[in-house]
Every structure is written in C-alpha cells, then in structure tokens.
C-alpha cells in the first residue's frame, strides 16, 4: 500500500497521469492496483480537483512457481527490496529444462514464510547460472517500475580474465547480437540486428605469474552475455568461460561476480550502495584471502 498527499500544482491532472508521470507507476502496475481518493475507490481517469489523499493498493499477484525451501544469502532487505548473494551453479528463473530448485523457487518460499502469501518474484536483474553475486528482487510492482524507469542505477562486476590487460581503464562499445538460434552472442552490427552495448573496464590487479588480470566492470547496457562477449572480443576472455574462451579443468565456471549495486532509494530518494566480497573460488585462484 502506498499513500500520497497530492500537491496543489497537480490539480486537474488525471489520477493515472499523476501516478505515472510523477510517482513512476507503470501502466501494468496500475492495472493490478486499486486506487482510493479520500477513502473512496475511484477510476484512474478521475481528475484531481484540490488537495487530496491518494492510496494505491496493489492486488496480490500469484504465481505458479513452486515454493521450495532454499538457504538464501540475504544481503539487504527492506519493505521494497530483497537483495540476495546468489551462489554459482544456480538458475535464477524456471525454464523449460529446469523447473525447480531455481532461485525463484527459493524466493517464493521465502515470501510465503515471511508474509503468508504466494507472491511473484519480480527480479530486477538476472545472472547466468554460473555467475555469482547480487540479485535484486522488487517486492511489489511499484518498486519494480521505479527501478526500471525512474531510479538511477549502476551495476558493477568483478572478473578474472586470461592474459595481462595493459590499459588501466577503458570502454568497450561493440554492438552484439545472436545469429539464428545459436545461444552464443557475437559482434554484430546494428544494421544486421545487433544491439548497442557499452562496458567500462577497470584493472584492479595484474597477476603476472599467473597471466591473469582482476578487473572491475560497469554495465551501461544490459545485453545477454554482454561482459563475457566484450572481454572475449578484446582478447581477454573470463577464466573458465568455455563458451567464449576455453575450458579450464580446475575452474568449473566463468569467474564472474556481481559485487556492487548502486541505486536510488524509492522512499528517501537517497543513493544507496550495496557491496559484497569476492567468492571463495575466485579468491583461491588469485591467492587472495
């Protein structure tokens, strides 16, 4: 439930205009909400005539995702967000081949136990099965729309790359896309169906004796496999990435970790920073404790 005191400057706005343009609601979110003006349920096309109290009640949306108990590594939680540190080798959302024991199953179970209700897990971001790190879940449609449309968000990753990267900091701006039904993405011009993609690369530490480089990556676009494709195209594939690099027997997954999430708080509009450490498997490869 969200409560608003409508400011005088929005007189003669339709309620739908006020909620979408000023408060960041999406059309879909409003379709699944009941709106009350001064205690009376009203239509969204009703105009605001004077100072009013507005209450938006989101209709609980169910899901057919089975609740399955899971040891979620919760990093942060408030009334709007649930942020989880996902282990590697966990699928985020059910697929045709994988319908249970996904992170979504665990989140649905957690919501059931903490609220007593089955709720749809609204993932703001998703990670490949073998990528570890921060997953952000919105607890309601309003928060989901705010993150997608209004909030200033920055996402950072850490990766261990093959080779020694000489530049301390640079951008990769190669468009990428998929050819046919191939799961693998590649450099593909926009004219041929590729999508613009931009990644910032910053060297954290070079390990000359191991021929490896630890880098921080910031995403400015969110294309499928973007970081993996971009680093491979530059000649520095992520260690353990058998799809875009080469298989390494002692490294069972690509060493990519979502470690920092910066976002605008939905209520205070202050900037918040969530960070987590490198996972143990990445620390062991580079000898960091």
User: Per-residue pLDDT tens for 191-247?
Assistant: 988 999 999 999 999 999 999 999 999 999 999 999 999 999 999 999 999 999 998
Residue-wise pLDDT tens digits, 155-171: 999 999 999 999 999 99
Structural domain includes residue 274: no
Q: Calculate Rg over the CA atoms of the chain.
A: 22
**Calpha distance 28→69 (Å, rounded):** 30
| Residue 116 neighbours by CB under 8 Å, 6+ apart | none
Residue 285 falls inside a structural domain: no
Query: For the segment 24-57, what is each residue's pLDDT rounded down to a tens digit?
Result: 777 766 776 778 887 788 888 888 876 678 777 7
For the chain, give the mean pLDDT.
89
Q: Which of 109, 124, 150 is the last residue of a domain?
A: 150
Given 71, 78, 109, 128, which residue is catalytic?
A: 128
Residues 199 and 239 in one domain: yes
Q: 158 with 89, same domain?
A: no
Do both 46 and 8 map to the same domain? yes
Query: How does residue 95 score in pLDDT terms, banded at 50, 70 and 90?
Result: confident
In a domain, 215, yes or no: yes
CA distance 24 to 143: 9
Q: Is residue 270 part of a domain?
A: no
Please tell me whether residues 106 and 169 are part of one structural domain. no
CB-CB contact of 177 with 221 (8 Å): no
Active site residue 128: yes
One domain, residues 200 and 221: yes
CATH of residue 79: 3.30.2350.10
* Nearest C-alpha neighbor of 87 from the set 78, 75, 97: 75
- The reply to whether 119 and 171 lie within a common domain is no
Please tell me the predicted confidence (pLDDT) of residue 281.
Answer: 95
Domain assignment present for residue 289? The answer is no
101 and 129 co-located in one domain = yes
Model-wide pTM > 0.85: no
Tokens of 134: 């921060």
Q: Please give the residue range of the domain that contains residue 20.
A: 2-58
Instruction: Provide the domain count of the chain.
Output: 3
Residue 265 lies in a domain: no
């Amino acid at each position: 439930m969200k409560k608003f005191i409508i400011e005088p400057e929005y007189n003669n706005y339709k309620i739908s205009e006020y909620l979408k343009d000023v408060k960041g609601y999406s059309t879909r979110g409003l379709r699944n909400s009941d709106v009350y003006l001064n205690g009376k349920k009203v239509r969204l096309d009703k105009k605001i005539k004077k100072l009013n109290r507005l209450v938006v009640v989101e209709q609980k949306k169910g899901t057919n995702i089975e609740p399955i108990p899971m040891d979620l590594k919760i990093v942060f939680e408030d009334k709007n967000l649930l942020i989880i540190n996902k282990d590697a080798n966990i699928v985020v959302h059910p697929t045709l081949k994988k319908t249970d024991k996904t992170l979504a199953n665990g989140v649905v179970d957690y919501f059931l136990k903490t609220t007593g209700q089955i709720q749809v897990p609204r993932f703001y971001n998703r990670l490949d099965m073998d990528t570890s790190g921060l997953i952000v879940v919105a607890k309601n449609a309003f928060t989901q729309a705010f993150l997608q449309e209004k909030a200033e968000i920055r996402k950072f990753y850490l990766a261990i790359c093959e080779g020694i990267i000489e530049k301390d900091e640079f951008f990769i701006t190669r468009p990428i896309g998929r050819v046919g039904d191939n799961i693998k993405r590649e450099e593909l011009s926009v004219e041929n169906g590729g999508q613009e993609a931009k990644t910032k690369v910053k060297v954290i530490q070079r390990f000359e004796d191991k021929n490896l480089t630890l880098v921080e990556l910031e995403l400015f676009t969110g294309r499928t496999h973007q970081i993996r494709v971009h680093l491979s195209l530059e000649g520095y594939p992520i260690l353990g990435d058998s799809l875009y690099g080469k298989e390494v027997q002692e490294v069972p997954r690509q060493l990519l970790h979502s470690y920092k999430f910066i976002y605008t708080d939905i209520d205070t509009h202050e900037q918040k920073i969530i960070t987590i450490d490198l996972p143990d498997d990445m620390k062991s490869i580079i000898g960091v404790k």
